[in-house]
Amino acid sequence: MENNNPNYVYENVIQIDDAAASRKFIANVFAWMFIALGISAICAYWFANDQSLYSLLRDPVTSGNTGLGTIVMFAPLAFVLLMSFGLNRLSYPVLALLYVAYAAVTGMSLSFILFNFTAGSILSVFVSSSLLFGVMAIAGYTTHQDLTKFGSLMAMGLIGMIIATVVNLFLHSSGLDMAIAYIGVAVFIGLTASDTQKLKRIGAGLEYGDATSKKYALMGGLTLYLDFINLFLMLLRVFGRRR
């Protein structure tokens, strides 16, 4: 007998809901981001408030970096490059282990900065950063406008900031430093929205559950973690009160 029901569902066919896949992917991206933030916050607080640990990174006599302190300053960049270029070659457990190690080392390096600011200003800037980040992430996720060109513009702004920062290492200009901080706030606010939209589209194009999607979710968490941390640091340079 012929079945004329247009709602007939084939038993062995998997029907993929792009919206549901995207939501699940984004949820895992933010889970990885929050894991990294939690690890970094614990390590930063621990090293900034324990003099014996802080002295492992900074010599209390000379106020200069120790050997470990110098390694900790540059290690986060090495971790990011290793994870980015090794994405297709590293297994998911190894990538996750590197991610956790990266978050811990980044927290240790942040202790250099947090040690110089009052606890009250750090807390207020963190709350402000969280609100700004949340608003822009929601905007990027819900907007129907294509933010690809906007994201490219923000990426160009980021490159300009990096060049200006390197130049200012020689100029030691407080005015330029403050200008970089203000531009940085704008750049990372914009990148938060564009990166969230890009990750939403990546999630919609993946059949969630395979190893590749797990890796992409982890690297997406890394992307948003970097957006948030840099936004926080730029706001701290503008509004933070030094000890």
Q: What pLDDT is attached to residue 15?
A: 39
C-alpha dihedral sign at 223, 227, 232, 238: positive
Identify residue 72 by its one-letter amino acid code. V
How many Å apart are CA 44 and CA 66, to the nearest integer?
A: 17
CA 163 to mean position of chain CA atoms: 21
Give residue-wise pLDDT tens across range 5-45. Answer: 444 343 443 334 567 888 999 999 999 999 999 999 999 99
Helix (H, G, I), strand (E, B) or coil at 1: coil
Q: What pLDDT is attached to residue 8?
A: 39
pTM of the model: 0.89
